[in-house]
DNA sequence: TATTTTTTGTGATTTACATCACATTATATT
DNA sequence: AATATAATGTGATGTAAATCACAAAAAATA
């Protein structure tokens, strides 16, 4: 862990770029950087929290305790703020964040964060926009979950990895089959079967965690139609 | 539709209560009140929007187009802001809001709203808190949807009507079976059957739309255990 | 290298729930 | 009041996907 100089940071968030010099100094004073290896918990549901996390680089999964077990809600890719909704209201985390790939994260003291929201409307506005985007994304995820069947949801998630996370139609899945199943809201066995199915149809190529999308169009079709 | 005087309004939001006199005047100038009867659309997905809606009284459903059909995402009870996430980013509504009970709603010009966010950090902070709460609620709804089965979800929704909407364990459902099914993410037929089942078990009493919860404890148990 | 542990694949079986089909009851319209 | 239209209940049937069961492969550990 080291104290960061936010002023010279090249990985500033869009929100942080609207801060004044003096405000960035304030941010830098109460901002501590840390590295997380895959599997390491960045913050944990139920624990007290007095920080907002700015995810500079890497990929995390957000998990939440459900009635039966812990569930992966979504992946979140840097750059992004984590734990804004979970820390703003009360001080207790309402979900966990766990590194899925190597991450660098800045821990910002919540009081400093609130102070910045207060003194800089542009900063505040950017944070608010991010919250709004999250809510809309969440609605979309939810309807898709209800109305599409597993085949479509799996296809959708493979496309998200390709288009939104790795920007390539060839990539290594950062999750094992269990976590992938969790993300798609299905069982491990079904994921196995459907991946085999997609491969048999020559829509993708699967080799362990390595995925290669062969027929983007058909995959998108499956993702849309269910 | 009439122009409202926000200064003397007794139904101010918590956020609005942090506004100065002059700011309330500003709000009042670009704030138009309207009444919506059940079934009437307050705003519509896909339409251009230049307003934030403050729901003063009443109950609405938020619906969103899914891959197969329009889906009820959630109910929202007054007092509450609607369309913040849908209007803040771009100008197009990303979901619809439809009155489920008689509603009064204030249409606030988006520029005025943004201006208030800018000049009054306390106001801005309250709005942000509401966004955060929404996001957390949405996560909860989603895990419940995935991990519980219909019986549990129906029970949960019956309890929400009792505890959060009507504050009574006897109430008239504001939705028909179709919409209730939609809210619970199941089919109309299943809702019919399970309501009958709950009645047979003497957990609730059903007479058309009138619901009476007889055994709160067991209903909560079903809601939790799935 | 050998051994344990974890991860993955695949068949067989079960099940919750959707869908279909139709009767019945309410509600709206003429 | 008569008719049309919509909302609801309920049985029969079908099915997507969970669960169970176990083998095979891969990864971690000794």
Q: What CATH number corresponds to the domain at position A129?
A: 2.60.120.10
CB-CB under 8 Å, A140 with B67: no
Is B183 within 7 A of strand D by CB distance?
Answer: no
Provide the 3-class DSSP secondary structure of residue A84: helix
Last residue of a domain, one of A143, A173, A191: A143
Contact predicate A31/A110, CB 8 Å: no
pLDDT of residue B156: 98
Is B150 within 7 A of strand D by CB distance?
Answer: no
Do B140 and B171 fall within a single domain?
Answer: no
| Alpha-carbon Rg for chain A in angstroms | 19
Strand pairing class (B2-3; B31-36): antiparallel
DSSP A67: S
In angstroms, the first-to-last Cα distance of chain A is 45
Do A83 and A176 fall within a single domain?
Answer: no
Is the pLDDT score of B3 beyond 90? no
Do B153 and B67 fall within a single domain?
Answer: no
**In whole angstroms, what is the distance from residue B77 CA to residue B82 CA?**
10
As a whole number, mean pLDDT of residues B92-104 equals 96
Residue with tokens 């106001």: B123
pLDDT tens across A122-135, in order? 999 999 999 999 99
> Which residues on adjacent β-strands are paired with residue B193?
none
Is A208 within 7 A of strand D by CB distance?
Answer: yes
Total tally of structural domains belonging to chain B = 2
Last residue of a domain, one of B94, B109, B144: B144
Do A214 and A111 fall within a single domain?
Answer: no
**In whole angstroms, what is the distance from residue A87 CA to residue A139 CA?**
21
**In whole angstroms, what is the distance from residue A117 CA to residue A124 CA?**
5
Sheet holding B2-3, edge to edge: B2-3, B31-36, B103-109, B51-57, B80-82
- Calculate how close chain A gets to B169, using CA atoms only, in Å: 24
**In whole angstroms, what is the distance from residue B32 CA to residue B12 CA?**
14
pLDDT tens across B15-35, in order? 999 999 999 999 999 999 999
Do B164 and B187 fall within a single domain?
Answer: yes
CB-CB under 8 Å, B128 with A131: yes
pLDDT tens across B105-158, in order? 999 999 999 999 999 999 999 999 999 999 999 999 999 999 999 999 999 999
Do B152 and B140 fall within a single domain?
Answer: no
CA distances from B175 to B72, B83, B208 (A): 11, 22, 11
Contact predicate A102/A59, CB 8 Å: no
Do B94 and B167 fall within a single domain?
Answer: no
Q: Which nucleotide is nearest to A178 (CA to C1')?
A: C7
Is the pLDDT score of A208 beyond 90? yes
Residue B87, classified by CB atoms within 10 Å of its CB into exposed (0-12), middle (13-18) or buried (19+), is buried
| Alpha-carbon Rg for chain B in angstroms | 19
Probe site for chain A from B131, B144, B185 (most A CB atoms < 10 A): B131
Is the pLDDT score of B4 beyond 80? no
Residue with tokens 């909704």: A85
Is the pLDDT score of A197 beyond 90? yes
As a whole number, mean pLDDT of residues B80-105 equals 93
pLDDT of residue A90: 86
pLDDT tens across A162-189, in order? 999 999 999 999 999 999 999 999 999 9
Provide the 3-class DSSP secondary structure of residue B96: strand
CB-CB under 8 Å, A85 with B136: yes
Which residue has better confidence, B199 or B50? B199
CB-CB under 8 Å, A139 with B73: yes
At B216, list the tokens. 């709160």
pLDDT tens across A40-59, in order? 999 999 999 989 999 999 99
Cis peptide before A166 (omega within 30 of 0): no
List the domain range (segments joined by +) for residue A219.
148-225
Do B154 and B140 fall within a single domain?
Answer: no
Is the pLDDT score of A3 beyond 80? no
- A85 interfacial to chain B (CB closer than 8 Å): yes
Contact predicate B88/B111, CB 8 Å: no
Is A154 within 7 A of strand D by CB distance?
Answer: no
Do A14 and A74 fall within a single domain?
Answer: yes
What is the number of CB-based contacts under 8 A between chain A and chain B?
141
Contact predicate A223/A159, CB 8 Å: yes
Do B9 and B44 fall within a single domain?
Answer: yes
CB-CB under 8 Å, A147 with B142: no
In A51-80, the residues whose Cβ lies within 8 Å of chain B are 64-69, 71, 73
Provide the 3-class DSSP secondary structure of residue B9: coil
pLDDT of residue A226: 76
Do B20 and B66 fall within a single domain?
Answer: yes
Contact predicate A126/A197, CB 8 Å: no
Ranking A76-90, A209-223, B98-112 by mean pLDDT, the lowest is: A76-90
Which residue has better confidence, B50 or B196? B196
At A115, list the tokens. 């102070």
State which residue of chain B sits closest to A73, comparing Cα positions. Answer: B139
pLDDT of residue A1: 59
Last residue of a domain, one of A108, A143, A178: A143
pLDDT tens across A70-85, in order? 999 999 999 999 989 8
Residue A170: which of A182, A158, A154 has the closest Cα? A158
- At residue A89 the predicted structure's pLDDT band, cuts being 50, 70 and 90, is confident
pLDDT tens across B33-70, in order? 999 999 999 999 999 998 999 999 999 999 999 999 99
pLDDT of residue B87: 80
Stated length of chain A:
226
Do B159 and B116 fall within a single domain?
Answer: no
pLDDT tens across B147-194, in order? 999 999 999 999 999 999 999 999 999 999 999 999 999 999 999 999
Contact predicate B226/B148, CB 8 Å: yes
- Residue A192 belongs to a domain with what CATH number? 1.10.10.10
Chain B residues with beta carbon closer than 8 angstroms to that of A85: 131-133, 135-136
DSSP B10: T
């Amino acid at each position: 862990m080291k104290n960061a100089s936010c002023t010279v940071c090249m990985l500033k968030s869009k929100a942080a770029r609207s801060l004044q010099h003096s405000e960035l100094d304030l941010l830098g004073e109460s901002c501590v950087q840390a590295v997380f290896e895959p599997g390491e918990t960045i913050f944990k549901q139920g624990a007290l929290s007095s920080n907002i996390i700015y995810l500079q680089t890497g990929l995390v999964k957000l998990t939440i305790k459900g009635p039966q077990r812990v569930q992966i809600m979504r992946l979140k890719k840097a750059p992004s703020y984590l734990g804004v909704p979970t820390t703003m209201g009360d001080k207790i985390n309402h979900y966990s964040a766990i590194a899925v790939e190597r991450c660098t994260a800045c821990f910002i003291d919540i009081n400093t964060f609130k102070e910045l929201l207060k003194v800089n409307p542009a900063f505040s506005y950017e944070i608010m926009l991010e919250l709004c985007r999250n809510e809309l994304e969440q609605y979309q995820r939810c309807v898709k979950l209800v109305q599409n069947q597993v085949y479509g949801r799996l296809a959708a998630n493979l496309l998200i990895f390709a288009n939104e996370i790795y920007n390539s139609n060839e990539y290594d899945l950062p999750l094992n089959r269990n976590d992938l199943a969790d993300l798609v809201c299905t069982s491990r066995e079904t994921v196995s079967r459907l991946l085999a199915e997609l491969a048999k149809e020559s829509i993708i190529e699967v080799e362990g965690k390595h995925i290669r999308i062969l027929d983007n169009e058909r995959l998108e079709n499956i993702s849309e139609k269910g």
